[in-house]
Structure 1
Amino acid sequence: MRPIKTLLSLAIATGLVACTDPSATTPPLTPKTSSPLGAEQQMQNTASAAFLAMMDEYSKTLLRLAPTLATSLGVTEDYLGIKFNDKLGDYSVNSIATAKALRARMAADLSKINRAALSGTAATTYDVVAASLAMTEKFEPYVFGGFSPLNIFTPYPVSQLSGIHIELPRALQTEHPLNNANDVEDYLTRLSLLGPALSEHADVVRFDAKQGVTPPQFAIQGALNVIASMTKPAAADNPLASSLGSRLTAVTEITAQQRATYVARAATIINDKVYPGYAALAAALQEILPQAQTEAGIWALADGEKRYQLALQNYGAGDKTPEQVHQLGLAEVKRIQGEIDSLLTSLGRSEGDVMTRFIAMTEEPSFLYPNTDAGRQKLLADLNKQMQTVEALLPNILLTLPKASVEVRRIAEYEQDSAPGGYYTSPSLDGSRPGIYWINLKDTADWPRFSLPTLTYHEASPGHHLQTAIAQEIKDMPMIRNTLWFSPYGEGWALYAELLAKELGLYKDDPYGDLGRLQSELFRSARLVVDTGLHYKKWSREQAIAWMHKNTGESVAAVTREIERYSVWPGQATSYKMGQIRILELRALAKQKLGAQFDLREFNDQVLIHGAVPLAVLSNNINAWINSKL
């Protein structure tokens, strides 16, 4: 992306996280031939089978608390033991205590397990869950409304970029099934619950503020702007009503008259319940606005230094200090700018500072799509063509290929002002919904033509979609693992995938596309600098924007959205580069030790076929594979 990863941070069991973890050595898994709706426990070892059964029960507990996540994953009512597509979950202050109690209970049960008796998927799952619980325990004194048992994504439950005010409407519009009249009734029931959920979450905002935890003022104002945009239309024109009507046109059993009735009911619910819920949340944000910090960094909160060190650990920095991460970023920026300089010079663009030359190139009309509906459609068509091209080449870099499809969609206009440039949402486990690569088309100038191939390779294949779909198709993957996301692993793979695209020859006759790839890596390296700048070196929002614009070639508008994102998601922006660096280190190690036995396709498989894991577990998996080859 330039981005997010899963946008399920609202769910109690999900989010964008990464944790350090205990060491583990696990044998490779075997990919399955079809996507199940639950973990297929085919374990010969009794201890492993019992452990996976316990994890499966916890999976059900977590999903019952997060019904929209259950819908997103595509599990069945039989699996979960309840009907859930007509529920939203608890977004009140009480949910915080529930989450902390569940974390404690899981940790107590895990402490009774003999790790040495586990093997295969069970052993990896133990290490993954243990690492997640250990990380959230460290965060517990510092995170309140954003607390989940296995994930800490952001300390702020509501911001301009994330929170239930954005994520629940998105889930209803894009993930709630609408295949028959019963599905529509469930949709309307969920819609009626949205207003109360927003009202209850207003109390969470106040609760956090009483603990001294508020987003920066510009982030609160951004959230208020999102709410204003969402509630501006007449209820019948709200996306929650209009998208219902448009989606139902594909349901043959529902007549036009019935469809109109459903849309009218939705509009009534929006007017009577949803809009008042948004008003309650907006009121709470207005209340805390005067006391919120004017600084962009988490250092402005009490214990800010401790909070940020935890955030860096959470996102893959390990034991590196903020200063070390900052210096690593500066070194990588210098290296990549040197490569960009050489390539620009080879193209006859040698006059002036390297990034001045690059920025000037991004503004040339020949590289820009018209900022019109026709221009946006052409851009989307080009992205689809790029996805088809790379799909045919995947057997050159992988042995295991996913079955789930992926498609590209535009980010909804009501959220594009505060949304990132692009992101990916995963397919459902039952195959009913594809993976979706979302792109922000507010201004097509943000996407010069030469920048798009790399975005595609990052978000779709061989990036996020490839990694996520393969993980979902692992034969004996326990459900709890499908609720977890480790940003250094997932974003690290996606950044590594951009390099794989070059190794596939996709830039061989496209030097400008290769410039786009280098600029993308430069962008991720610059994040190390500005994230630590904001949260450790006490840079202002404006200082970070100016530095990033000057050093990456991104437009001021795009960089502004990025900096505001880093402000409310401390540490997450560092996960891309930290993960890529570790994967490349492991590949170099495998090449060194295996020599002629090294197979790139086999190495890439070993990174992916264990599913999403913390970086330390990934390291041990690769070392185990190397030793097995030797």
Structure 2
Amino acid sequence: MNAFPYHSDSISVPGPYGPTPLGTNYMDTAQFLRDVHPVNDRADAEAFISRMGQLAAVLDAETDHVRRNAARGIVAPTFVVEQTIAILSKVRDVNPSDEGLVRSIGTRAVAKGLSGYAERAQAIFTRQIRPALARQVAMLQSVLPRAVDQAGVGRLPDGRAYYDACLRYQTTSTLSADEVHRTGLDLVANIRAQIEEAFRKQGMSRGTIKERATALAASPGQAFPNTDAGRAAVIAYLNDQLDAVKTRLPQAFNRMPKTGYEFRRLAAEMEEGLPFGIAQPGAPDGSRPGVFYINLRDTADWPRYTLPTLAFHEAAPGHLFQNGLQFESGELPLYRRGWFFSGFAEGWGLYAEQMADELGMYRDNPEGRIGYLLSHLWRAARLVLDTGIHLRGWDRARAVDYLYENSFASRSGAQGEVDRYIVMPGQACGYMIGHTTITRLRDEAQRRPAFDLRAFNDFVISGGALPMAVLEGRVRAWLMG
């Protein structure tokens, strides 16, 4: 990616634009300090304050990226800039005593018998962070008149080559953009046929898939109230799903992670820009569980039948489960235990959904199995969407319409997802490309007389996150004995 100077390697949102509604340096740092950073003693509290004091410089570096790109004629699409300004302005204008970092350190320090930290944090926010946020907002406002409505990166300098590089980086495959697009169209057709059959078995044979999915979401028992009590019920249901699948995981794995995993609600101040949620891996020593923070700004985005698959993908046997085993692997050097490749990680997430189905998690929940198939349809549609936007010039509205018709997402949810694809070119393609690679390798392994599912799954995880081509070579060498 170094060949494209406008690219930003932000951990949360690698792409060409810097701060976006999906991630800014403020949001990323605030979440880490608030939800991960320990405050068990005075040294921890001092470290928290020290890191908070460095945040303004980090924000200014991000602002400089916007400035440099604008000088090259590169500005994010209009709606991205507008949304980012709104999100950062809200943080800039918060009452300092109510700011999330101030409240976090103040509350946790007092619980440990430490005083004065809320006041110090408030002073840092007022004198350093707020002015840096103001500078960032001002920079974005200054480039807004130069923003355009074109969504894809094809308009950028060497845009086609940049998109090809993004695809290789995110999928770790050698598929061309055209091949990814055709793969997506084939998978969408195949999965839609499976969904049609699943709906027919439930006596729902009339209407489009979207109409039937919407009708299923409106059926009794599917909706959670859009209240704090309803949101708490969503969290409880998700964690119940994790408890249920945990009893069946020994059928598919020999090893279980020491690190726990759970769902929590995403902080309200982060709900506006993020799509469905974000994950935070647990501590390698098991002292802190892995957490998926689900965005519950509107519970209508989460009918009950969609939630089991979310639990299996994000937590167990998906990301947090896999991350836990990878972190705890004594066979890997330390740097490899935290290594990440999107194609491997997201491919594993879809493979985890498939394993949950194979372990019988939907046997008594046919509506949940429809949710699982719709999840795979959504990920297949991403291949079409991402390449449609960045290769074929689709605009935002066309992309939203396509995802709305090929997923369980509400229109607002579909728009949030499409915005993610726009600012993170190629990332959404890693899911299904990774999944098809892992399942193809398992199909090869199953043709061996001594196939053992647990041994296969353990072996795939034991190597840590790998590029797809490396994974293929490693598994085939293992199969050769």
Scaled to the shorter chain, the TM-score interval is over 0.9
How many residues end up aligned between the 2 structures?
481
Q: Quick one: distance in 2 between partners of 1:393 and 1:216?
A: 46
3-state SS, counterpart of residue 370 of structure 2: helix
Q: Does 1:358 align with 2:220?
A: no
Task: Give the structure 1 partner of residue 182 of structure 2.
Answer: 327
Q: Is the Cα contact below 8 Å between 1:160 and 1:221 reproduced in 2?
A: no
Structure 1's unaligned 5+ residue stretches are 1-138
Partner of 2:251: 396
In the TM superposition, residue 401 of structure 1 has moved relative to its aligned partner by 1.5
Give the aligned partner of residue 27 of structure 2.
166
The Cα of 1:151 is off from its aligned counterpart by 11
Match of 1:434 in 2: 289
Kindly indicate whether residue 384 of structure 2 is the aligned counterpart of residue 522 of structure 1: no
Asked if 1:185 is matched to 2:38, the reply is no
User: Residue deviations 1:424-475, cap 9 Å, x none?
Assistant: 2211234332211111100001000010000000000000011111111111
CA distance in 1, matches of 2:330, 2:187: 39
Map of 1:567-586 to 2, 5 A cutoff? 567-586=422-441
Letter in 2 for 1:390: V
Q: CA RMSD in A?
A: 1.8
Asked if residue 615 in structure 1 is aligned to residue 468 in structure 2, the reply is yes
Give the aligned residue type for 1:182.
A
CA deviations on 1:273-326 (whole Å, 9 max, x unpaired) are 111110011111112222233211111111111111111111226332222211
**1:582 CA displacement:** 0.3
2:21–2:87 contact (8 Å) kept in structure 1: yes
Q: C-alpha distance in 2, partners of 1:249/1:561? A: 38
Query: What is the rounded CA distance, in whole Å, between the counterparts of 1:412 and 1:342 in structure 2?
Result: 39
What is the aligned counterpart of 2:356 among 482, 492, 501? 501
Note the C-alpha offset of 1:615.
0.7
Structure 1 match to 2:237:
382
Post-superposition shift, 1:355? 2.4
Q: CA deviation at 1:147?
A: 4.2
C-alpha displacement of 1:241 = 1.1
Aligned to 1:140: 2
By how many angstroms is 1:195 displaced?
A: 2.1
8 Å contact from structure 2 (residues 259, 285) kept in 1: no
CA deviations on 1:100-150 (whole Å, 9 max, x unpaired) are xxxxxxxxxxxxxxxxxxxxxxxxxxxxxxxxxxxxxxx2121446148x9
Q: Is the 8 A contact 2:231 2:296 kept in 1?
A: yes
Cα distance in 2 for partners of 1:370, 1:140 equals 47
Confirm whether residue 176 of structure 1 aligns to residue 31 of structure 2: no
C-alpha contact (below 8 Å) 1:404/1:434 kept by paired residues: yes
Q: 1:286 aligns with which of 141, 151, 154?
A: 141
Residue of structure 2 in register with 1:227 after alignment: 88
Aligned to 1:271: 126
Alignment partner of 1:194 out of 43, 55, 78: 55
After TM superposition, the structure 1 = structure 2 runs for residues 70-81 of structure 1, keeping only pairs within 5 Å, are none
The structure-2 alpha-carbon separation of the partners of 1:228 and 1:364, relative to structure 1 and needing over 3 Å to count, comes to farther
| 323 and 268 in structure 1: CA distance in 2 versus 1, 3 angstrom threshold | same
Offset of residue 220 of structure 1: 1.6
C-alpha distance in structure 1 between counterparts of 2:170 and 2:56, whole Å: 33
C-alpha spacing 1:152/1:284, structure 2 compared with 1 (3 Å) = closer
User: How does the TM-score come out when normalised to structure 2?
Assistant: 0.96
Alignment-mate amino acid for residue 213 of structure 1: I
Q: C-alpha displacement at 1:250, in angstroms?
A: 4.2
Amino acid corresponding to residue 160 of structure 1 in structure 2? P
Q: Indicate the SS of the match to 1:436.
A: strand
- SS for the counterpart of 1:492 is helix
- Helix, strand or coil for the counterpart of 2:54? helix
CA distance in 2, matches of 1:627, 1:480: 28
Contact preservation (8 Å) 2:362, 2:369: yes
Counterpart position of 1:347: 202
Give me the whole-angstrom Cα distance separating, in 2, the residues matched to 1:156 and 1:484.
24
Deviates more, 1:607-616 or 1:150-159: 150-159
1:387 shift after superposition: 0.9
Taking structure 1 as the reference length, the TM-score comes to 0.74
Q: For residue 31 of structure 1, what is the aligned residue in structure 2?
A: none
